[in-house]
Amino acid sequence: MGRYTVDGMEPKEVVTPEDVDEVVSVLKRANEEGLGVLVVGGGSKLSMGMKPKKYDIALSTSRLGGVLEFSPEDFTVSVGGGMKLKELQEILGKENQFLPIDAPYYNDATIGGIVAANTNGPRRFHYGAIRDLILGAKFVSGSGIPYDFGGKVVKNVAGYRVRSFLTGSMGTLAVITELTLKTYPLQEKEASVIALYESADEALKSAMELPKKDFSYTAIDVLGKKVSNLMEERHGIGANDLYALVVRLEGFGDLVEEHSKAVEEGLKGSAKTITLNGKEHFSLWGFIQDVQGNLPKGGEKVLLRIGVPRSSSPAIFKKAEGVLSEFDPFVWLHEETGIMYAAVMGGDPRELKKGIVKLRKESEKLDGYLVVESAPVELKEMVDVWGDVGEALELMRGLKEVFDPNYVLSPGRFVGGI
């Protein structure tokens, strides 16, 4: 399987444009010749979506990276779409700033890819989603037309907010060449409080009952036993075969210390509580941010993302464990946003389909959704990886007709075969 392989398909050609003009040229040619083009950043999300209807050109954004402008005093930064998140955080850190996006596959994920896939992480509730950080964008539409909506005020195009239609569009509308983003100051102090439990009920109940007002939480996660076991391999804190409630606190030094002690005291009913600071704290959240990347290698991974209202997150967590029990799933929850993940490392596709269909129905009963983020092709041919998006499909098709009427970009990969 090559670097640009998508669902068993290889491109006939790989192009690496280094400026907007070259991107325009590639897309113009694709329109003229009826070619299918897939945009590839770090390659961390190529498993998302349905199998392409055609795949002639892989358009790599590897030469469209770098920091183009950074104004620390204004807390804004402009970067190429191919800029890697890890590299950006390192540059921002030198000015005591950061981009509050905890995207998985940290070493490989690009900023353009994070926006296109709408990838967020544990701190989304506190800092907002990636779309909330976008102040401007430059992109080339599927029809080969360059657009520039730069600056520090998000502008509208054809009645749509740029950041809204680019975010989560999965590379089906445009090639993102530049983004202007809002940054944040690094906090004076951070700490983690971990509470371990024998049962999911105890961990989920404690998460829901944590006092929220005036506390400096930036993330509250619940890890299933198998994810706790992975965490144990790295940190050795006695988490084997236990559920873990992990709380992240950020802010002024004295306040974080006070709150971490209060949280630890409030979780005395757990089997064990641990507070982590410094390198251990950051290493822990590096692991939680990238559980996907820390899963065992080998096998045909199936990764599900499920979103429900926060109040329903305990119910869907337990449903996921139950419905997928025969596959021994890895399950973890970003409690404050109601977004959870479930991963299984192979299994009979027919039985997996039954589990996915059942769990999707349970999610929809709770006013939620289920997306299959990764699956072998055989399973993708049995189940709609996106699910029913209702009336939104008409809007999505309308946007496709405006920006990519010849269906050049990622044909057939998105919702409704867009």
Whether 401 is covered by a domain: the verdict is no
CATH code where residue 193 lies: 3.30.70.2190
CATH code where residue 99 lies: 3.30.465.10
Q: What percent of the chain has pLDDT over 90?
A: 86
Amino acid in the structure at residue 401:
E
Helix (H) or strand (E) holding 74: none
d(CA 119, CA 127): 14
Same structural domain, 303 and 265: no
First to last CA, the chain: 25
Same structural domain, 242 and 299: no
Average pLDDT over every residue of 208-215: 78
pLDDT in tens, 158-211: 435 777 889 999 999 999 999 999 999 999 999 999 999 999 999 999 999 887
User: Which of 338, 335, 376 shows the shortest CA–CA distance to 356?
Assistant: 376
pLDDT for 14 equals 97
pLDDT at 418 over 90: yes
Whether 392 is covered by a domain: the verdict is no
Average pLDDT over every residue of 397-413: 97
pLDDT in tens, 70-126: 999 999 999 999 999 999 999 999 999 999 999 999 999 999 999 999 999 999 999
Average pLDDT over every residue of 219-242: 93
pLDDT at 374 over 50: yes
pLDDT for 19 equals 97
**Taking the model in full, what pTM does it have?**
0.94
Q: Where residue 332 falls among pLDDT bands split at 50, 70, 90? A: very high
Q: Where residue 154 falls among pLDDT bands split at 50, 70, 90? A: very low
pLDDT at 227 over 60: yes
Same structural domain, 169 and 205: no
Backbone φ and ψ of 63, nearest 5°:
-105, 10
Pick the last residue of a domain from 289, 306, 324: 289
pLDDT for 157 equals 46
Domain count, the chain: 3
pLDDT for 150 equals 63
CB 80 within 8 A of CB 18: no
Whether 411 is covered by a domain: the verdict is no
Same structural domain, 344 and 256: no
CB 222 within 8 A of CB 244: yes
Whether 415 is covered by a domain: the verdict is no
Same structural domain, 216 and 326: no
pLDDT at 155 over 60: no
Amino acid in the structure at residue 18:
E
Q: Where residue 213 falls among pLDDT bands split at 50, 70, 90? A: low
Q: What percent of the chain has pLDDT over 70?
A: 96
Q: Which long-range contacts (CB under 8 A, 24 or more apart) does 28-37 make?
A: 28/144, 30/56, 30/57, 30/144, 30/408, 31/142, 31/143, 31/144, 31/406, 31/408, 34/406, 35/408, 36/408, 36/410, 36/411, 37/142, 37/408, 37/409, 37/410
pLDDT for 163 equals 78
Q: Where residue 10 falls among pLDDT bands split at 50, 70, 90? A: very high
Same structural domain, 242 and 337: no
Residues of the domain holding 273:
189-289
CATH code where residue 365 lies: 3.30.70.2740
pLDDT for 152 equals 44
Whether 45 is covered by a domain: the verdict is no
Strand blocks (E) in 265-316 = 272-277, 301-307
Inter-CA distances, 283 with 167, 243, 298, Å: 28, 19, 24
The rounded mean pLDDT for the chain is 93
- Residues 320, 323, 326, 331, Cα dihedral to 10°: 0
User: Which of 304, 305, 373, 383 shows the shortest CA–CA distance to 45?
Assistant: 373
Q: Where residue 129 falls among pLDDT bands split at 50, 70, 90? A: very high
Strand 243-251's sheet: what is its strand order? 272-277, 189-197, 243-251, 217-223, 330-334, 339-345, 301-307, 369-374
Q: Which of 176-180, 299-303, 342-346, 352-356 has the lowest mean pLDDT?
A: 299-303
Which residues contact residue 56 at a Cβ distance below 8 angstroms, ignoring those fewer than 6 apart? 11, 12, 13, 30, 35, 36, 37
CB 173 within 8 A of CB 398: no
3-state secondary structure of 298: coil
Amino acid in the structure at residue 358:
K
Pick the last residue of a domain from 268, 289, 310: 289
Same structural domain, 170 and 254: no
Q: Which tokens hold the place of 148? A: 């520039």
d(CA 178, CA 207): 39
Whether 268 is covered by a domain: the verdict is yes
Same structural domain, 204 and 136: no
Same structural domain, 202 and 276: yes
pLDDT for 223 equals 98
Helix (H) or strand (E) holding 105: none
3-state secondary structure of 319: helix
Q: Which tokens hold the place of 244? A: 């873990």
Pick the last residue of a domain from 151, 185, 219: 185
Same structural domain, 176 and 86: yes
Same structural domain, 145 and 200: no
Same structural domain, 308 and 267: no
Whether 393 is covered by a domain: the verdict is no
Whether 59 is covered by a domain: the verdict is no
